Amino acid sequence: MPVLDAEPSPLPIDLATTALVIIDMQRDFLEPGGFGESLGNNVSLLAAAVPPTRALLDAARAAGLLVVHTREGHKPDLSDAPPAKRERGEPTVRIGEPGPMGRILIRGEPGHDIIPELAPRDGEPVIDKPGKGAFYATGLAGVLEARSVATLLVCGVTTEVCVHTTVREANDRGYRCVVVADACGSYIPAFHEAGLAMIKAQGGIFGWVSDSTSVIAALG
């Protein structure tokens, strides 16, 4: 069994029960005119995570891992978008309002799509989630249980929001979670660093932190 170089400790990885989970690499977060920019963020800060994620995705596919993609977004009638989420802050355009990539954070709109570089392949589960965590109100638990998955390699955006929430949910459900640091990104670099530090602190209170080079080596 390969041993992954990770912090706070090396982790043996059983490839047969390991999945790659790519969180919310959507146009709405990574491209101008989407949800991320509507909140006042510089979306170009997330671009650095794309090449490592692509390399990770290629390696995971080659190794035969289950690859799961997630997308944050809401039904067109907004019935799954709580007012507390829609009304929050002072965005330039709110969830459900029209933007240059269609309605902001709405399923089926161009902005909701995963960026072309990381497009899911046929057969790879795509989990649509209304919240920040990938387990809340989704079928992710069933997808993972059906494949007897025990270890999650998690990457995507943003580190301290949807990646973190998903890892916290997964950790409580008993999964070993490895966050792939350079394949994650945040609009707020200090939060990216803090988010990673929180995961691996205290002996790995929520999981492990590694990097794409180490993960690809372990998958090889």
Catalytic positions? 24, 129, 162
Minimum separation from the CB atom of position 176 to ligand C5J (A): 22
Q: Which two tokens stand for residue 190?
A: 């200090």
CB closer to ligand C5J out of 158 and 212: 158
C-alpha triplet 7, 207, 171: angle, nearest 5°: 175
Minimum separation from the CB atom of position 130 to ligand C5J (A): 11
Minimum separation from the CB atom of position 183 to ligand C5J (A): 14
CB closer to ligand C5J out of 19 and 161: 161
CB closer to ligand C5J out of 52 and 218: 52
From the CB of residue 206, how many other CB atoms can be counted at a distance below 10 Å? 19
Minimum separation from the CB atom of position 124 to ligand C5J (A): 18
Which residues here bind ligand C5J, judged by CB under 6 A? 24, 29, 72, 132, 157-158, 161-162
Q: Which two tokens stand for residue 194?
A: 């803090």
Q: Residue 106: beta bridge partners? A: 74
Q: What is the DSSP letter of 188?
A: S
Measured in degrees and rounded to the nearest 5, phi and psi for residue 154 equal -115, 135
90-99, Cβ contacts within 8 angstroms, sequence gap of 24 or more: 91/38, 91/39, 91/40, 92/37, 92/38, 92/40, 93/38, 94/38, 95/35, 99/33, 99/34, 99/38
CB closer to ligand C5J out of 13 and 130: 130
CB closer to ligand C5J out of 65 and 114: 114
Minimum separation from the CB atom of position 56 to ligand C5J (A): 17
Q: What is the DSSP letter of 182?
A: E
Spatial contact of 152 and 169, defined as CB atoms under 8 Å apart: no
